[in-house]
Amino acid sequence: GGNQFGGTLFYFRRDGKVDAKRPLSSSESQLKQNQYGATVGGAIVKDKLFYFASVERFDKNDANNVTIDSGTAATILQRTGFKVSQGLVPFVENVTTGIVKLDWAQSDTSRWSGRFTWAKEYNENQLEWGGLTDRSAGGARRIEDRSASLSHLWNASARFVNDFRLLWSLRDHELISLDDTKGPYVEILGAATFGTQRFLPQVRTEKTYQLSDTGSIFFDKVTLKLGVDLMRTNIEGALPLNFSGIYRFQAIPGFSNGIA
């Protein structure tokens, strides 16, 4: 932080139209990527209290190429009630982050700093799919992070400095299935894989608390540091395994040429 007001803006774009064509696909890339953000900072009270804030956003739209045979395997599966994808199938990925920071110059020897950060992420290609694996067999990741910290730097004298820090953070982490029907997981060797992945969903919450305090004593030729660092992390998670079954088949004779 400083007395002078200032800030920045940025924007970045990438378009798949200028990319090379993908293997096994005659279509051009579906990628659309946008990344943008801003920062701002200045003084609330001149020479005493300062602020800084930053926000950033990442957006990505892309597609995976599903090559399940549209003339045979897909047709047979759809006749039996299963729906699978063919061709370029879209997915999204996005991340938003933000930070707010305050600095207080209490005196020439004492300075406080507080910070809050927040981030949210979603990715539909976390458990990758494509080729002979349908979108329904893939998995998405959803994360939200929050953290707050407080620190104090005390220059008691030319020979002694004390650094105190306090931290709290919370993370909600979830892996979810892309199968809207929540149907069984089916794998047919050499033909198709589709349905709810057996280890999804996964839900986890992490809470972290940390306290540290370090004192530094400076002598002519020696520096002595003494301190304490305490950290506790609580993790709670669940793996429901609420799936409708798993069915795995070897290559089925006649399946690839349309004979049921």
Residue 26 main-chain phi, psi, to 5 deg: -90, -5
Q: For position 142, what pLDDT does the model report?
A: 96
Whole-angstrom distance, CA of residue 68 vs CA of residue 88 = 11
Least confident of 131-135, 139-143, 236-240, 255-259: 255-259
Within 8 A by CB and 6+ apart from 229, the residues are: 210, 211, 212, 214
pLDDT tens figures, 184-220 = 888 888 888 888 888 888 999 999 999 999 999 998 8
Q: Across all residues in the chain, what is the average pLDDT? A: 88
Q: Is the pLDDT of residue 25 over 70?
A: no
Q: What is the mean pLDDT of residues 217-234?
A: 93
pLDDT tens figures, 43-87 = 999 999 999 999 999 999 998 888 887 666 767 777 777 788 888
- With pLDDT > 90 as the criterion, what percentage of the chain qualifies? 56
Q: Is the pLDDT of residue 258 over 80?
A: no
Q: What is the mean pLDDT of residues 92-102?
A: 96
Question: pTM (2 decimals)?
Answer: 0.81
Q: How far is CA 47 from each of CA 44, 107, 112, rounded to the nearest angstrom? A: 9, 10, 13
Q: Is the pLDDT of residue 127 over 60?
A: yes
Q: For position 260, what pLDDT does the model report?
A: 41
Q: For position 22, what pLDDT does the model report?
A: 62
Task: Give the torsion sign (CA, 173, 178, 181, 185).
Answer: negative
